[in-house]
């Protein structure tokens, strides 16, 4: 294998290469020190200069020079800004359809068609949602409908989102959406967990909320809880209800004497009569 000889004319044209790089750069100061040369082919040499522009760490300017056979003058073939081994690079390019995230879709944007979307199933497929009416009753000409995977993913996303039970406004609420008069239930199995808020004063108006969500615009705000319809618990015979003195309705105020003829506490009726007789005989 033949070795490439050093071309003195091209190797020595450092200033010509620097001038070409400074002309291509936004500012002449963006071209730094000379890093060396690389022999590309016969009578073709590339000069490398450090890139000093902010944000281009590890990059370098490459200026390729060439000359004609038996020529004594170098000419500029191309100027490039290339990354080095430790250069700071942007993230790998990802197609738009793959980097799009929920919420990114704007006016005029159109998502690509996914013929094998796992969230959907053919419209003629029997649904495992018992509450869903047959598609022929709805007169819908939908080629595909929501399948079990799509329904489960939506339920998990809604329940864990800002309209679920873990949001700050739900944790501060005293009553859940399940007891709110502004809740419009959904049909089907999703209606067992979710509904739509129809309260204009609520921040969730027009949004799907979980039944255990809540906010300060509840329809029954500040209403006292009605008495429980459940019967009072029965006390087993082996237990005895004990009430404090303050809770006894017939408790006598302290310092008052019992009415005449009342039995003394801790004595039998006969003992009380004997005590009265002794008191009568006393001088």
With tokens 């929501």, the residue in question is: 146
Same domain, 73 and 123: no
Do 65 and 125 lie in one domain? The reply is no
53 and 130 in a single domain? The answer is no
Query: 104 vs 28, which has greater pLDDT?
Result: 28
pLDDT digits (tens, 9 = 90+) for 164-211: 999 999 998 888 999 999 999 998 888 899 999 999 888 999 999 999
Q: Could you report the per-residue pLDDT of 227-245, keeping only the tens digit for each?
A: 767 776 665 665 555 555 5
Structural domains of the chain, count:
2
Last residue of a domain, one of 173, 192, 221: 221
Kindly state whether residue 51 falls inside one of the protein's structural domains: yes
Instruction: Please state, in angstroms and rounded to a whole number, the distance separating the CA atoms of residues 49 and 62.
Output: 7
CB 218 within 8 A of CB 180: yes
Q: Which of 85-89, 119-123, 246-250 has the lowest mean pLDDT?
A: 246-250
The runs of H, that is alpha helices, within the chain are 8-11, 14-24, 96-99, 135-138, 148-160, 168-171, 269-281
Q: Which of 203, 221, 239 is the last residue of a domain?
A: 221
Please check whether residue 235 lies inside any domain of the structure: no
pTM given for the model: 0.42
pLDDT of 168-179, one tens digit each? 999 988 889 999
Residues 57 and 145 in one domain: no
Does 3 fall in a domain? no
| Judgement on whether residues 122 and 197 belong to the same structural domain of the protein | yes
Compute the mean pLDDT over every residue in the chain, rounded to the nearest whole number.
79
| Domain co-membership, 128 together with 187 | yes
**Residue 95 is assigned to a structural domain of this protein:** no
Q: Please report whether residue 239 resides in a domain.
A: no
Query: Is there a contact between 96 and 111 (Cβ–Cβ < 8 Å)?
Result: no
Question: Is 164 inside any structural domain?
Answer: yes
β partners of residue 64: 46, 78
Q: What is the C-alpha separation between 41 and 52, in angstroms, rounded?
A: 28
* Owning domain of residue 36: 8-83
Look at phi and psi of residue 15 and say left if phi exceeds 0, alpha if psi is from -120 to 50, else beta: alpha
Q: Name the residue among 70, 17, 11, 72 with its Cα closest to residue 44.
A: 11
Domain end marker among 221, 242, 270: 221
Examine residue 88 and state whether it is found in any structural domain, yes or no: no
> Looking at the domain assignment, is residue 271 inside a domain?
no
Residue 254, helix vs strand vs coil: coil
């Amino acid at each position: 294998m033949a070795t490439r000889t050093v071309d003195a004319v091209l190797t020595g044209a450092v200033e010509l290469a620097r001038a070409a790089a400074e002309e291509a750069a936004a500012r002449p100061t963006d071209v730094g020190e000379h890093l060396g040369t690389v022999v590309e082919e016969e009578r073709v040499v590339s000069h490398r200069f450090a890139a000093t522009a902010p944000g281009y760490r590890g990059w370098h300017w490459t200026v390729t020079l060439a000359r004609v056979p038996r020529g004594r003058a170098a000419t500029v073939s191309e100027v490039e800004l290339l990354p080095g081994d430790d250069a700071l690079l942007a993230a790998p390019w990802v197609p738009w359809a793959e980097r799009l995230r929920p919420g990114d879709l704007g006016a005029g944007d159109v998502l690509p068609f996914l013929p094998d979307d796992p969230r959907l199933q053919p419209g003629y497929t029997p649904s495992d949602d018992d509450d869903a009416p047959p598609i022929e009753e709805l007169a819908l000409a939908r080629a595909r409908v929501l399948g079990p995977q799509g329904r489960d993913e939506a339920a998990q996303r809604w329940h864990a989102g800002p309209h679920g039970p873990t949001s700050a406004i739900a944790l501060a609420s005293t009553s859940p959406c399940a007891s709110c008069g502004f809740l419009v239930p959904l049909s089907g199995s999703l209606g067992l967990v979710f509904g739509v808020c129809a309260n204009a004063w609520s921040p969730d108006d027009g949004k799907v909320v979980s039944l255990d969500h809540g906010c300060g615009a509840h329809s029954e705000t500040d209403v006292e809880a009605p008495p429980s319809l459940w019967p009072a618990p029965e006390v087993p015979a082996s237990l005895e209800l004990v009430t404090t003195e303050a809770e006894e309705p017939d408790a006598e105020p302290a310092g008052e004497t019992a009415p005449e003829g009342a039995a003394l506490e801790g004595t039998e009726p006969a003992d009380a009569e004997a005590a009265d007789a002794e008191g009568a005989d006393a001088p």
